[in-house]
Amino acid sequence: MADVRIESDSLGKVEVPSDKLWGAQTQRALNLFAIGRDRMPPEMIEAYAVLKKACALANNEAGKLRDGTTKLIVDACNEILEGQHDAMFPLPVWISGSGTQFNMNVNEVIANRCSQMTGHDLGSKQPVHPNDHVNQSQSTNDNFPSAMYMAAAIGVTRKLIPAAKQFAASLASHANNWQTIVKIGRTHMQDATPLTLGQEFSGYAGLIDQNVTRLETALADVYALPLGGTAVGTGINTHPDFDKDAVGHIAQLTGLPFTTADNKFTVQGSHDALVQLSGCLKTLAGSLYKIACDIRLLACGPRAGLGELILPANEPGSSIMPGKVNPTQCEALTMVAMQAMANDQAVTLGGSGGILEMNTYKPLMIHNIMQSIRTLSDAMNSFREHLLDGLNADNERIRELLNRSLMLVTALNPAIGYENAAKIALHAHRSGSTLKEAALELELVTEEEFDRIVVPEKMVEPHR
């Protein structure tokens, strides 16, 4: 058995592994909540380290925390932010719905590291106490949701939006390069009138641009933190300016426009800002699913499908069929998109679970939100790097399918009317002839008229 030390909390003594910085409450949680393999999102470690640092600075400025104590807490937080103590945060997602054990995990690690830095025994709570000093002017009920909002905002701004913008830029590049490639459009999975491949891809780029705008709009509410509300939103055990001072430090430390929430009761009793953000993640997932499926469909083949797009041949696609190349990046992105859509359902259910002054589904919510942010970002980067940037058009195949389409007859509508144009299309389809041959056989237009009117390149934009 590993060496242990004895730590205590308000319920008594607990054995803690001697080489760990966590304390009694963290160890109790490990013993009581051995549920699954999902750990608390690592982004919450960074968010909490910033938050605890900011609170220590605010308490110091108010004269509530001595300079030496403040410096120790700040130094310990800086080490956490550098990733030095990641292994000291072992708790699973599935703990108290308030996240109390994780807050205390952070408090205990910081306090014990302060003890270590000053030559005191681990667990001595000297010279820094996890509750009295590290958690001063706070409650889990206001600092855990604040850390959730921070983690989500940091993840969206630093990881998700940049990935989405790069994804959109790659789509836009194709849209620009392929503006002159005229192809057949499709609606209801059937032939429709022509458009350019560039126009088609401009639609995809526009989808992602719209999603970026939605995310940026949703962040406005996420930036409003409940920190300073303490237990139920009243701010008990804080000084009057603590919320503004602490959140001001958070904004400075992160470079993001965090503010103190105008109504702490609103943002502690429920977390609609995160539900809204999750909805934006779901919408982005839906857009990515559509784009990946479209590209997979347009690239299907290479000889027995549409085959208009040529995917990069990244890897062998089959263990039995030689030479097969599969749309694996499309499959990975669509699976991630489905998971993000499912995650949103969990966030929505968790967000509805606020009872009176507190929501007790916080870990569930932030677990799913951060998984969506992380995987959507990674999947977009992977798809862009390994598929989108190397995607090519098969011009010969595109021209072949365009010239075979019966829907080019739509251009004749203004000249001969819908009914006569339909007769040409049906005759061509039944007889196996071309549109031109069918039109001339039916004597509905002259050859000169057909050649002048039925020009695919002229059918991709309005004309007088």
Per-residue pLDDT reduced to its tens digit, 34-59: 999 999 999 999 999 999 999 999 99
pLDDT at position 463: 81
Q: What is the mean pLDDT of the chain?
A: 96
Q: How confident is the model at residue 318 (pLDDT cuts 50, 70, 90)?
A: confident
pTM score: 0.94
- The answer, yes or no, to whether residue 382 has pLDDT greater than 80, is yes
CA distances from 103 to 40, 143, 148 (A): 11, 8, 12
pLDDT for 194 beyond 60: yes
Of 8, 18, 318, 352, catalytic:
318
End-to-end CA distance of the chain: 86
Which H helix or E strand runs over 90? none
Establish whether 372 is a catalytic residue: no
What is the length of the chain? 464
Kindly state the average pLDDT of the residues 123-142. 97
Q: How far is CA 26 from CA 81, 93, 258, 436, in A?
A: 20, 13, 29, 79
Q: What is the pLDDT of residue 1?
A: 46
Give me the pLDDT at residue 239, please: 95
Is 188 one of the annotated active-site residues of the chain? yes
**pLDDT digit string (tens) for 143-185?**
999 999 999 999 999 999 999 999 999 999 999 999 999 999 9
> What are the tens digits of pLDDT across the range 384-422?
999 999 999 999 999 999 999 999 999 999 999 999 999
pLDDT at 464: 74
Of 247-251, 280-284, 295-299, 354-358, the poorest mean pLDDT is in: 354-358
Q: Which residue positions form the known binding site for substrate?
A: 98-100, 129-132, 139-141, 187, 319, 324-326
Query: Would you say 161 and 379 are in contact if contact means Cβ atoms under 8 Å apart?
Result: no
Residues of the binding site: 98-100, 129-132, 139-141, 187, 319, 324-326
Q: Which residue in this structure is represented by tokens 């009914």?
A: 419
Helix (H, G, I), strand (E, B) or coil at 424: helix
pLDDT, mean of residues 313-342: 94
> How high is the pLDDT of residue 2?
63
- CA–CA distances in Å: residue 117 to residues 55, 73, 113, 123, 301: 20, 11, 6, 13, 64
Span 94-111, average pLDDT: 97
What was the pLDDT predicted at 319? 87
Q: Is 402 strand, coil or helix?
A: helix
Sole residue written with tokens 């996240």: 99
At residue 15, what are phi and psi to the nearest 5 degrees? -85, 130
> Domains of the chain, with CATH numbers?
19-136 (1.10.275.10), 145-229+263-396 (1.20.200.10), 406-458 (1.10.40.30)
Residue type, 10: S
